[in-house]
C-alpha cells in the first residue's frame, strides 16, 4: 500500500491561510489502512482545526466527507458540488489523490494534509516499512524476493558494500542490511550460486527517470 503520515498542524494551518470554509476529504483507500487519512483521522483533524481556529480567533467552518478513493474520478464527481461551497479542500489522500482532486475540482484550491512516504507493508501493528520503489523493472526473482533498490541504502545491484556489519546497514544499527537479507534468503533457497552472477546496470528509463509513466490498457476501454 501507499504509506503516508499527517503533516504538522502548523503547516496545515499555514497552507489554509485565510480560508474560513474548509472541506476535509478523507479516503477509504491506502491511507485508511495506514491510519493517516481515513474517516477516523479526517474527523480527528477536523476537531483539531476547529479548536485551532477558535484559539486564533478565527471562525473556521469545517465539514468532512470521506470517499472511496481519491485516485478515481468516479468517486470525486459526487462531492464536486459540496466542495464548491467551500473556500478550500483539504485532502487526506496520498499525493496522487490530492492531484486528481485538484484536476477534477478545477477552481477550488485542494491542499495536502499528508506527506506521502512510500510503498510499503505493515510489519506489525503500527509499523509500516518501505518495500518497493516502483522502479518499473522488477528483479525480485534474481534476489531471493528482496529488493536491492529499496532495501539497500545505496540501491546496489551487486552488494553488500563494505559497511555491512553484523547484519546491519552502516546508516543505522537498527536497519537491516538489504544485501545480508538477500544472501540469507538465497542461501535458504539453495540459490547462493546466484550471488556471483553480476547484475547488469538497471534500466532506469522504466522508473521516473524516463519521464511521466502511464499504463494504457486498450482491452479495458
Choose the stretch contacting another protein; rule: CB under 8 A; options: 8-16, 119-127, 170-178, 212-220.
170-178
Applying CB under 8 A, which of residues 134, 140, 171, 189 lies at the interface with another protein?
Answer: 171
Q: Tell me which of 112, 120, 160, 178 binds another protein, using CB under 8 A.
A: 160
Per CB under 8 A, the segment of 11-19, 55-63, 86-94, 167-175 that binds another protein is: 167-175
Sequence-ordered list of residues with C-beta below 8 angstroms from that of 179, at least 6 positions apart, any chain = 148, 151, 152, 156, 159, 160, 161, 164
Question: CA 98 to CA 108: how far, in whole Å?
Answer: 12
User: CB 2 → another protein: shortest distance, Å?
Assistant: 21
Q: Work out how close the CB of 159 gets to another protein at its nearest, in angstroms, rounded to a whole number.
A: 7
35, 52, 129, 161: which one binds another protein (CB under 8 A): 161
Q: Number of residues interacting with another protein: please give it, by CB under 8 A.
A: 30
Q: Which of 108, 155, 176, 185 binds another protein (CB under 8 A)?
A: 155
Nearest-angstrom CA–CA distance, 86 and 116: 24
- According to DSSP, the residues that pair with 159 across neighbouring strands are none
DSSP code for 130: E
CB 134 within 8 A of CB 112: no
Span 97-136, contacts to another protein by CB under 8 A: none
Q: State yes or no: residue 168 binds another protein (CB under 8 A).
A: yes
Rounded to the nearest whole angstrom, what is the least distance from the CB of residue 142 to another protein in the complex?
A: 14
Distance CA 148, CA 200 (A): 13
Q: Is 162 in the site for another protein (CB under 8 A)?
A: yes
For 109, list phi and psi in degrees, rounded to 5: -70, 130
117 near 109, Cβ under 8 Å? no
Task: List residues binding another protein (CB under 8 A).
Answer: 153-171, 177, 180, 183, 195-196, 198-202, 204
Amino acid at each position: 500500500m501507499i504509506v503516508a503520515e499527517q503533516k504538522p498542524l502548523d503547516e496545515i494551518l499555514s497552507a489554509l491561510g485565510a480560508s474560513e470554509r474548509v472541506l476535509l476529504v478523507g479516503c477509504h483507500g491506502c491511507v485508511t489502512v495506514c491510519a493517516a487519512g481515513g474517516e477516523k483521522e479526517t474527523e480527528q483533524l477536523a476537531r483539531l482545526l476547529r479548536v485551532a481556529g477558535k484559539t486564533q480567533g478565527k471562525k473556521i467552518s469545517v465539514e468532512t466527507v470521506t470517499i472511496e478513493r481519491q485516485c478515481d474520478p468516479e468517486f470525486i464527481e459526487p462531492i464536486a458540488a459540496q466542495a464548491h461551497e467551500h473556500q478550500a479542500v483539504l485532502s487526506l489522500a496520498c499525493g496522487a489523490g490530492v492531484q486528481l482532486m485538484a484536476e477534477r475540482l478545477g477552481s477550488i484550491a485542494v491542499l495536502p494534509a499528508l506527506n506521502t512516504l512510500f510503498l510499503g507493508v505493515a510489519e506489525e501493528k503500527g509499523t509500516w516499512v518501505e518495500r518497493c520503489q516502483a522502479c518499473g523493472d522488477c528483479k525480485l526473482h534474481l534476489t531471493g524476493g528482496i529488493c536491492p533498490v529499496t532495501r539497500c541504502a545505496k540501491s546496489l545491484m551487486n552488494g553488500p558494500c563494505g559497511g555491512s556489519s553484523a547484519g546491519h546497514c552502516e546508516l543505522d544499527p537498527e536497519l537491516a542490511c538489504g544485501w545480508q537479507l538477500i544472501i540469507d534468503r538465497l542461501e535458504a533457497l539453495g540459490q547462493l550460486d546466484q550471488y556471483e552472477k553480476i547484475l547488469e546496470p538497471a534500466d532506469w528509463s522504466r522508473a521516473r527517470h524516463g519521464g511521466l509513466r502511464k499504463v494504457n490498457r486498450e482491452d479495458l476501454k
